[in-house]
Amino acid sequence: MARYSAHLSLAEIGRHGQQHIRDSHIALIGAGGLGCAAAQYLVSSGLGTLTLCDFDTVAESNLARQILYRAADVGRLKVEAAAASLRALNPDSTLHTVAKRMADEDMQNLFPACDLVIDASDNYGTRLAVNRNCLALKKPWIMASCIRMEGQIMYLRPDLPEQPCYRCAYGSAPDTLEDCPGAGIFAPVAGIVGAAAAHFALSGLAGKPPPAGIHLFDAANWQWQSLKIGKQTGCRDCA
């Protein structure tokens, strides 16, 4: 356990929290800039099992921010290249891969076995599908997104009563409606928000859940803003 000694010293994690991290399974949707950064910290921190989901292959234009991939990985399936990189980082973690675009049926098959889901995809349709399926299964999940010089993160708790869902919230965050591809993204912003997703996930698993609401990062002015979100009466997904 020397690998985790710095966690064991923390009042917020400790032996009990680290044990929970080791006993947990996370599904990570998207092995892009956010997913690479999140996966590194999840696996280096001793997460028991990680299932990586991504249909895509590594492109040269990914290498600036998708830090699990090397130049020689161009053309390779992202989940395969990422899993190889993560296994070298920490052989203690069990890695599973799903090399497909995740549809409702895939989520219904995968999520029941997981303690937590992280959506690090680059599109609104997938995020809404994760919202729907996590609501149906009462599964906590983390939404992380970034674009240009901005990031957003939320810890959603459909496992608790009367909590807002992602669709309840997005009205206050119109930027998420724009998909990432083509809009540009500053590489470190993806790393910061991806690391924040790992922080949220590991804290939640260790019994210290992060604050509710939507957390917005404005990298250009280096400001974080947290907004409260209420459950919307008449929400199409959770009402």
238 near Zn ion, judged by CB under 5 A: yes
Contact indicator for 137, 114 with CB cutoff of 8 Å: no
Residue nearest to Zn ion according to CB distances in the complex: 235
Q: Given candidates 63, 89, 219, 235, which one binds Zn ion under the rule CB under 5 A?
A: 235
Task: Kindly tell me the burial class for residue 197, based on how many C-beta atoms sit within 10 Å of its own C-beta (0-12, 13-18, 19 or more).
Answer: buried
DSSP 98-153: E-SPPPHHHHHHHGGG-SEEEE--S-HHHHHHHHHHHHHHT--EEEEEEEBTEEEE
63 near Zn ion, judged by CB under 5 A: no
165 near Zn ion, judged by CB under 5 A: yes
Stretch that binds Zn ion, among 8-16, 55-63, 164-172, 179-187 (CB under 5 A): 164-172
Q: Which is nearer to Zn ion, 18 or 133 (CB)?
A: 133
Rounded to the nearest whole angstrom, what is the least distance from the CB of residue 214 to Zn ion in the complex? 13
CA separation for the pair 8, 103 (Å, rounded): 38
Rounded to the nearest whole angstrom, what is the least distance from the CB of residue 91 to Zn ion in the complex? 40
Rounded to the nearest whole angstrom, what is the least distance from the CB of residue 167 to Zn ion in the complex? 5
Stretch that binds Zn ion, among 73-81, 90-98, 107-115, 227-235 (CB under 5 A): 227-235
167 near Zn ion, judged by CB under 5 A: yes
Q: Which is nearer to Zn ion, 168 or 206 (CB)?
A: 168
Going by the DSSP 8-state scheme, the letter that residue 57 receives in this structure is B
Rounded to the nearest whole angstrom, what is the least distance from the CB of residue 38 to Zn ion in the complex? 24
Q: H/E element holding 86?
A: helix 78-89
Residues written for the chain: 239
Closest CA to 115 of 23, 203, 26: 26
- Which chain residues interact with Zn ion by CB under 5 A? 165, 167-168, 235, 237-238
